[in-house]
Amino acid sequence: MNELKDFHLPHRHGEIDNIDKVSDVLQNVSYFAIVSDIFRQLGDPTRVRIFWILNHYELCVINMAALLGMSSPAVSHHLKSLNECGLISSRRDGKEVYYKASDTEESRLLHIVVEKIMEITCPKEAVDYGASSKEIIHSIHKYMLEHISERITIEELAKKYLMNTTTLKKVFKEEYGTSIAMHMKEHRMEAAATMLTDTDKSIAEIASLVGYESQSRFTSAFKSQYKLVPSDYRKINMKSNKVHE
């Protein structure tokens, strides 16, 4: 006799349709254990990144490690876990082993879930995650210039553009010849210099517009680049502008 038949909830706040079937499913803990194990494998952000990229490309360990800014053994460790739960598959071609997402309904659904969650929870600016590292760095550079008044951390950029922080810093320096902090400081000071000579905004307001909450820190940063404090730079350059008018 099935003890789950004619199941009733202690409190009646409105009946649940097919309560017996719902109860039957809930009692099958093994169903949920299987699902839980799959989600557990994706409980690591690096594993999610690997799973995501393998839904788009078939890659060897070395190329994956380069994309993620990780060592090959570290990538292999995550690949083993994803392979054991059936989310990815592999094939050997000579000495090289290539990996890709499994051609299963579970893998396809999880890929959709990952992308939908990123679409909902991540910033709304369009990001081409399939772009090369250099293309992504150029997008990061453009984004930072468009948000020059904001103090954006490398960790925030790495999360937004799905790039390892070490790789992000390395490729940025290769492309622009200096660190992100130094590069953005130069842009901030150039923007400040333009505002000092072309507008009547106060120094405190200009400091805020180029990302400095402290006017004294802004003054120190400006002097280190132009060898003049902002007020003196304004006086000299505004006089020079008037002479040429």
The residue-averaged pLDDT of 4-33 equals: 69
Residues of the chain with CATH 1.10.10.10: 42-120
Whole-number average pLDDT of the chain = 84
Higher-pLDDT residue of 132, 134: 134
Other C-beta atoms lying within 10 Å of the C-beta of residue 218: 24
Other C-beta atoms lying within 10 Å of the C-beta of residue 195: 19
The residue-averaged pLDDT of 22-34 equals: 79
C-alpha dist (Å) from residue 122 to 89, 103, 107, 184, 230: 29, 27, 22, 23, 38
> In this predicted structure, what is the pLDDT of residue 18?
65
Cα atoms in the Cβ-side hemisphere of radius 13 Å centred on 65: 12
Local confidence band at 5 (pLDDT 50, 70, 90 cut-offs): low
Q: Has residue 196 got a pLDDT over 90?
A: yes
Higher-pLDDT residue of 34, 203: 203
How long is the chain? 245
Residues of the chain with CATH 1.10.10.60: 181-244
Other C-beta atoms lying within 10 Å of the C-beta of residue 79: 20
Query: For domain 42-120, is the CATH number 3.40.605.10?
Result: no
Query: What are the pLDDT digits (tens) for 45-67?
Result: 888 889 988 988 899 999 888 88
Evaluate the CA torsion angle 109, 111, 112, 116 in order and state its sign: positive
The span from the CA of 4 to the CA of 19, in Å, is: 10
Tell me which architecture the domain covering 181-244 has in CATH. Orthogonal Bundle (1.10)
The residue-averaged pLDDT of 187-209 equals: 95
Answering whether pTM is above 0.85, one says no
Cα atoms in the Cβ-side hemisphere of radius 13 Å centred on 87: 26
